[in-house]
């Protein structure tokens, strides 16, 4: 459910351009992958588009380095000659590494022929003291788009003047977008599919079959998954005369008219109203009963027709949120807990269509139920400040912690930033006391140019990333930015924001394993001070401080996510008034806990707005702070971060990440995992913090790249269970051979328990390890050989 703009406004902001946002360097303009994601061993073609704005002919070389979290894996170089003012594309073909990693960073250098430097994975990204240009890139590694959803959407209004569908797909691929939602593409809410050559869509804009096929085909060539957008239970109020496939018996009613058999369209639930202000063609939208089998059968048949006729790969189900009133079916019976059908409806659609189906949990409506019972490929949440759903930095991180407890499925959020300053929300939605820099796009004959507040958008995107989610982005041809309100005359992207977007997405992909791959938050104490020694850290996300939350992961002794709220007077993540402009913090000192019984590894810092997102190696000192209660010493690391503008991550890890294993059980690995090396779950959880996974009922969780060396003789786990239960450790697959079966005791007095079992026949070498929970509820805090 997105507010959209007039076609005129959108076209004014976009007409005549079919190129992604250009980089701000003097030579390199874009870095584009030929696919949105790859699998290990694939051949990836990386295109470097260049325009020479150096003021002189360029005769030199182009370097490209493939990196794994700061470690150089491969390097290639081309000679390049470009006259002043000319453009040229140079392509590299590289083999995607086969490490236990889900993303790699690329460093690209343009160097003079006489320069002996090369592209580096760290620091400035170059060993040269005077490179002509430096840019970043990335390779996303996944089996399919839902492994690591990075979602954008296309809007029919914005596409009206577009004929170069390949350019749209290339733009998406530059930002590693792998799912595209075709917003408002269908014909009617109650009949989205038509076999006509053209139709008036939900926004009353003409859409053609040729245009649809062109975009879907271009996306597919880049490995991008296309989703049909539709409401789960919406219908135009004129359905009695326009759609004979819908009947009164399918409706959801605001009264008990069904007891008398007198129900009409006027009795159907219709919430919100003013839908034309949201860009829809009709104000009369009523709701059908999502629990009604005939409605499910009809609307699902429409989705199937769209998959076959238009070529879509999946379905995005929108909702209008909680109706806030009792709902009744056509017989007058109460539809108990309307939102409880979200999971069932999405499950039914996914089962019937055989394609990935997501459903919008507007304002987290029944999110836990969908997370626990739902089978949709991803979770999807759209906050709505106009409904009083105001997200703050700590509340969003709390949402992510909850989601991690409920499910391992990724979360996509749709934050729409700076809505008051852009005119998308009324001035009364401004924060108290704010003077909003509102800029009216209708001024100057509709040509008023108003820049977006770049730091606020960077803060939002950074917080989404470091909390473990991804943000829905508009694929607006010229560049990419959150939400449906860009690009338009109200908020233009400046060169700095375009550069940030490119660096952000490369950083987002390159550090996927730390940002979103089985990293789990911990309550550990972190101390942060500025260059004068003043404490500026806070774990509660209050404005005026550096918001931090620590986390653990396999191969990482400890990590901490940082968000700079120094200088802000509020902590609204969406920055409705466009006033977020934090004060850059330089040379800040961080002390955080480390766990383990051996020397620690390399410390790193990486931020999307510092040196193109390349990781910075940090020196640090080690101290001690007692024991973790299981006999493992607790260490601290103290280091200095050079610059924190908006958001970034710092971590300590020991593995070189240049081999095929991520965690070694035989005690020879140099990485440090919470509780000792090798001691605890690769998710890094110790016995006195939140559990790695709450399991039951046949669910399981796995860890990749576990090296058994020459074998192990026993296995122990730290658990909590109200009633007692069983855990099974299996090799390579969820139903693979049983490595060990461990009986979990009933926990007493709220305390965790440690249990151990012998391994009769241990595997050797590298395996995936599954932990399966066949019976009652068990909380697994950690495991070790």
Residue 63 phi, psi (nearest 5): -105, 140
Q: How confident is the model at residue 270 (pLDDT cuts 50, 70, 90)?
A: confident
Share of the chain above pLDDT 70, in %: 84
Which of 499, 514, 529 represents a domain boundary (last residue)? 514
Query: How far is residue 516's CA from residue 505's CA, in Å, rounded to a whole number?
Result: 13
Specify the range with the lowest mean pLDDT, choosing from 278-282, 671-675, 725-729.
671-675
| pLDDT at residue 468 greater than cutoff 70 | yes
Domain contains 508 = yes
Greatest mean pLDDT among 155-159, 218-222, 592-596 lies in 218-222
What phi and psi, each to the nearest 5 degrees, are found at residue 646?
-125, -80
Structurally, how many domains does the chain consist of?
4
Say yes or no: 168 and 314 in one domain.
yes
Question: Cis omega before residue 179 (within 30°)?
Answer: no
**Token pair of 12, please?**
């004014």
Which residue in 192, 220, 231, 202 sits closest to 311, CA to CA? Answer: 220
Are residues 287 and 233 in contact, defined by beta-carbon separation less than 8 angstroms?
yes
Give the percent of the chain with pLDDT over 90: 51
For 532-560, the DSSP string reads TS-B-EESS--TTSEEEEEEEETTEEEEE
Give the chain's end-to-end CA distance (angstroms, integer).
Answer: 49
pLDDT at 785: 63
Q: Is residue 8 situated within a structural domain?
A: no
Assigned domain for 679 exists: no
Same domain, yes or no, for 128 and 110?
yes
Positive/negative CA dihedral, 65, 46, 225, 39:
negative
Own/partner pairs, 305-309, CB within 8 angstroms, 24+ separation: 305/193, 305/195, 306/186, 306/192, 306/193, 306/228, 307/228, 307/353, 307/355, 309/193, 309/195
Task: Band the pLDDT of 20: cuts 50, 70, 90.
Answer: low
Average pLDDT over residues 678-701: 47
| Domain presence at residue 18 | no
If DSSP codes are grouped into helix, strand and coil, which group holds residue 588?
A: strand
Q: Which of 129-143, 440-454, 477-491, 597-611 reaches the highest mean pLDDT?
A: 129-143
Q: What is the structure's pLDDT at 450?
A: 73
Which tokens hold the place of 738? Answer: 């049983």
The candidate with the shortest Cα–Cα distance to 570, out of 382, 455, 432, 387, is: 432
- Tell whether the torsion through CA atoms of 344, 347, 353 and 359 is positive or negative: positive
Residue 92 maps to which CATH number?
A: 2.60.40.10
What CATH number corresponds to the domain at position 432?
A: 3.20.20.80
Claim to verify: residue 634 and residue 739 sit in the same structural domain: no
- What pLDDT is attached to residue 505? 94
Residue tagged 């351009």 (tokens): 17
Structural domain harbouring 593: 518-659
Do both 446 and 465 map to the same domain?
yes
What mean pLDDT do residues 367-391 have? Answer: 88
Is the domain of 434 the same as that of 571?
no
Determine, yes or no, domain membership for 620.
yes
**3-state SS assignment for residue 727:** strand
**Is residue 250 in some structural domain?**
no
Q: Are both 479 and 581 inside the same structural domain? A: no
Residue 6: pLDDT band (50, 70, 90) is very low
Residue 521: what pLDDT? 72
pLDDT band at 446 (very low <50, low <70, confident <90, very high): low
Inform me whether the pLDDT recorded for 607 exceeds 80: yes
Three-state secondary structure call for residue 57: coil
Asked which of 457, 487, 514 is the last residue of a domain, the reply is 514
- 475 and 537: one domain? no
Please choose, from the candidates 13, 317, 315, 288, the residue with its C-alpha nearest in 3D space to the C-alpha of residue 146: 315
Contact of 346 with 317, CB cutoff 8 Å: yes
pLDDT value for 235? 94
In the chain, DSSP finds a helix count (H) and a strand count (E) of: 13, 41
- Same domain as 459, residue 375: yes
CA distance 701 to 150: 23
- Read off the pLDDT of residues 160-189 as tens digits, 9 standing for 90 and up: 777 889 988 888 888 899 999 998 899 999
Query: Which of 707, 714, 726, 702 minimizes the C-alpha distance to 761?
Result: 714
Most confident of 641-645, 725-729, 739-743: 641-645
CA distance linking residue 3 with residue 416, whole number of Å: 9
Closest to 299 (Cα-Cα) out of 255, 379, 359: 359
Q: Are 398 and 386 within one domain?
A: yes
Tell me: do 162 and 303 sit in the same domain: yes
| Tens-digit pLDDT profile for residues 311-340 | 999 999 999 888 888 999 999 999 988 899
pLDDT of the residue at 482? 59
Give the 3-state secondary structure of residue 74. strand
- The pLDDT value recorded for residue 498 is 86
Assigned domain for 383 exists: yes
Report whether pLDDT(443) > 80: no
Burial class of residue 344 (count of CB atoms within 10 Å of its CB; 0-12, 13-18, 19+): middle
Q: How confident is the model at residue 692 (pLDDT cuts 50, 70, 90)?
A: low
CATH number of the domain within which 759 lies = 2.60.120.260
Tell me, what's the pLDDT at 671?
32
Q: Which tens digits make up the pLDDT trace of 621-668?
A: 988 776 655 555 567 889 999 999 999 999 987 544 444 444 444 444
Cis ω for the linkage preceding 329 (within 30 of 0): no
Domain termination residue (choose one: 514, 529, 556) = 514
User: What tokens does 633 get?
Assistant: 């010493």
Give the rounded distance of the alpha carbon of 146 from its chain centre: 10
Q: What is the pLDDT of residue 663?
A: 43
pLDDT-derived band at 277 (thresholds 50, 70, 90) equals low
One domain for residues 473 and 608? no
Average pLDDT over residues 256-268: 96
Q: Is the per-residue pLDDT at 442 higher than 60?
A: yes
407 belongs to a structural domain: yes
Domain shared by 505 and 541, yes or no = no
Per-residue confidence (pLDDT) for residue 267, from 0 to 100:
96
């Amino acid at each position: 459910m997105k507010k959209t703009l007039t076609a005129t406004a959108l076209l004014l902001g976009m007409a005549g351009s079919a190129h992604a946002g250009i980089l701000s360097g003097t030579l390199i303009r874009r870095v584009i992958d030929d696919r949105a994601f790859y699998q290990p061993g694939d051949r990836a073609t990386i295109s470097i588009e260049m325009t020479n704005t150096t003021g002189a002919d360029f005769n030199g070389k182009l370097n490209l380095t493939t990196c794994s979290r700061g470690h150089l894996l491969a390097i290639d170089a081309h000679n390049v000659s470009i006259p002043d003012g000319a453009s040229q594309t140079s392509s590299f073909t590289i083999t995607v590494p086969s490490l236990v990693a889900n993303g790699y960073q690329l460093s690209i250098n343009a160097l003079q022929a006489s320069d002996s430097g090369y592209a580096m994975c760290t620091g400035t990204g170059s060993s040269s003291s005077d490179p002509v240009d430096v840019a970043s890139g990335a390779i996303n590694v996944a089996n399919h788009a839902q492994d690591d959803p990075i979602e954008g959407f296309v809007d029919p209004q914005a596409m009206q003047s577009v004929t170069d569908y390949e350019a749209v797909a290339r733009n998406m691929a530059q930002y590693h977008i792998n799912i595209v939602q075709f917003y408002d593409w269908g014909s009617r809410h109650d009949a989205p599919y038509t076999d006509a050559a053209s139709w008036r869509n939900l926004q009353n804009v003409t859409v053609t079959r040729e245009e649809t096929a062109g975009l879907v085909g271009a996306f597919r060539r880049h490995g991008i998954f296309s989703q049909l957008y539709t409401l789960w239970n919406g219908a135009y109020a004129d359905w009695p005369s326009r759609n004979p496939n819908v009947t009164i018996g399918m409706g959801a009613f605001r009264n008990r008219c069904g007891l008398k058999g007198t129900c009409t369209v006027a009795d159907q639930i219709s919430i919100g109203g003013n839908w034309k202000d949201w860009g829809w063609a009709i104000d009369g939208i009523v709701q059908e009963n999502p629990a009604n089998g005939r409605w499910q059968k009809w609307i699902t048949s429409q989705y199937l027709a769209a998959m076959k006729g238009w070529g879509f790969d999946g379905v995005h189900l929108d909702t209008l949120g909680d109706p806030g009133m009792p709902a009744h079916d056509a017989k007058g019976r109460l539809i108990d807990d309307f939102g409880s059908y979200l999971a069932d409806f999405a499950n039914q659609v996914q089962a019937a269509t055989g394609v990935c189906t997501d459903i919008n949990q507007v304002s987290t409506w029944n999110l836990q139920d969908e997370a626990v019972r739902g089978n949709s490929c991803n979770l999807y949440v759209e906050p709505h400040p106009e409904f009083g759903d105001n997200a703050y930095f700590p509340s969003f991180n709390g949402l992510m912690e909850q989601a991690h407890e409920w499910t391992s499925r990724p979360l996509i959020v749709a934050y729409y930033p700076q809505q008051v300053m852009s005119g998308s929300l009324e001035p009364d939605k401004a924060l108290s006391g704010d003077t909003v820099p509102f800029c009216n796009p209708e001024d100057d004959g509709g040509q008023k140019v108003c820049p977006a507040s770049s730091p606020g958008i960077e803060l939002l995107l950074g917080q989404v990333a470091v909390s473990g989610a991804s943000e829905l982005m508009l694929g607006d041809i010229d560049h990419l930015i959150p939400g449906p309100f860009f690009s338009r005359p109200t908020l233009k992207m400046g060169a700095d924001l375009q550069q940030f977007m490119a660096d952000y997405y490369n950083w987002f992909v390159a550090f996927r394993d730390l940002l979103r791959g089985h990293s789990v938050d911990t309550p550990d104490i972190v101390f942060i001070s500025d260059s004068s020694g003043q404490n500026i850290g806070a774990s509660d996300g209050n404005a005026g401080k550096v918001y931090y939350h620590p986390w653990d992961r396999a191969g990482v002794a400890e990590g901490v996510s940082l968000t700079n709220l120094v200088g802000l007077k509020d902590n609204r993540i969406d920055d409705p008034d466009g006033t977020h402009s934090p004060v850059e913090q330089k040379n800040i000192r961080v002390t955080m806990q480390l766990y383990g019984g051996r020397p620690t590894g390399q410390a790193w810092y990486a931020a999307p707005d510092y040196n193109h997102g390349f990781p910075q190696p940090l020196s640090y000192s080690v101290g001690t702070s007692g024991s973790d209660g299981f006999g493992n010493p607790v260490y601290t690391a103290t280091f200095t971060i050079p610059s924190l503008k908006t958001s970034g991550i710092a971590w300590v890890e020991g593995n070189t990440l240049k081999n095929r294993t991520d965690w070694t059980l035989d005690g020879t690995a140099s990485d440090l995992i919470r509780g000792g090396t090798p001691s605890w779950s690769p998710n890094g959880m110790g016995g006195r913090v939140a559990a790695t996974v709450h399991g039951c009922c046949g669910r399981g969780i796995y860890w990749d790249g576990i090296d058994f060396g020459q074998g192990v003789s026993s296995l122990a786990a730290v658990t909590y269970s109200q009633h007692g239960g069983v855990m099974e450790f299996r090799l390579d697959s969820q139903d693979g051979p049983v490595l060990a079966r461990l009986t979990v005791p009933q926990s007493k007095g709220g305390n965790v328990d440690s249990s151990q079992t012998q391994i009769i026949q241990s595997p050797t070498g590298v395996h995936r390890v599954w932990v399966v929970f066949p019976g009652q509820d068990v909380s697994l805090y950690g495991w070790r050989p």
